[in-house]
Amino acid sequence: MRVGIYCGSKMGLKPIYVQKAEELGAYLARNGIDIVYGGSNQGLMGKIADAALANSGDVIGVMPDFLQWKEVIHERITELHYVKTLHERKAKIIELSDLLIALPGGAGTMDEFFDVVTLSQIGQHQKPVCLYNVNGYYQLLRLQLQYMVDEGFMHQEQLDYIHIVQKPEDLLKCIQKENE
């Protein structure tokens, strides 16, 4: 089982974001679940990878060639795939993953999240999509998504497809539910 993780290349202002990223990385590794992510050692991306590696987990990175100078490549990850563009990075993460989850992050994380939601909506994949709602980070987004449904721009079924998880155990339950 592999989980594709989207998250910030920054730490965020509150220590809870780092704490929960590390907790998730360790939890997934202890449960034999591999991580697929952007390949960086910076921000929450680096923290989740470090935690998984420290708990004997496998971590697979996907890094666009042109970001090598901007993002520092995590040198201790299990496997690293180089791609040409951000679009290829997103596609490769989806390809290598069984489930996709967004932790707190910025515009890049939101781009990745909405890309996987849109691709599922048009039938390009059927992989579960989750938001890890650390410290209520995704509460306002959840309200916006509901508003999209209420205003007729999104189907309720599509919103129901997005799982909101509060702790690592919830993610594992989501994985187990999908495997039934």
- CATH code, domain carrying 37: 3.40.50.450
What stretches in the chain show pLDDT beneath 50?
A: none
For residue 66, the model assigns a pLDDT of 85
Question: How many domains does the structure of the chain reveal?
Answer: 1
Total residues found in the chain within this entry: 180
Question: Would residue 124 count as lying in a domain?
Answer: yes
For residue 70, the model assigns a pLDDT of 59
For residue 172, the model assigns a pLDDT of 77
For residue 109, the model assigns a pLDDT of 97
For residue 166, the model assigns a pLDDT of 92
Single-letter code of the amino acid located at 169: E
pTM above 0.75, yes or no: yes
Question: Would residue 180 count as lying in a domain?
Answer: no
For residue 179, the model assigns a pLDDT of 64
Question: Would residue 179 count as lying in a domain?
Answer: no
For residue 174, the model assigns a pLDDT of 79
Question: Would residue 158 count as lying in a domain?
Answer: yes
Question: Would residue 11 count as lying in a domain?
Answer: yes
If we measure between CA atoms, which residue out of 4, 2, 6 comes closest to residue 102? Answer: 6
Provide the domain limits for residue 111.
Answer: 2-173
Question: Would residue 13 count as lying in a domain?
Answer: yes
Q: Are 129 and 113 in contact (CB under 8 A)?
A: yes
d(CA 89, CA 143): 29
Give the start-end residues of each E strand in 17-150: 34-37, 59-64, 79-83, 99-102, 129-132
The phi and psi torsions of 152 (rounded to 5 degrees) equal 80, 20
> How is residue 122 annotated by DSSP?
T
For residue 146, the model assigns a pLDDT of 97
For residue 40, the model assigns a pLDDT of 93
The phi and psi torsions of 106 (rounded to 5 degrees) equal -105, -145
d(CA 140, CA 1): 30
* pLDDT tens, position by position, 72-119: 889 899 999 999 999 999 999 999 999 999 999 999 999 999 999 999
Question: Would residue 178 count as lying in a domain?
Answer: no
Question: Would residue 98 count as lying in a domain?
Answer: yes
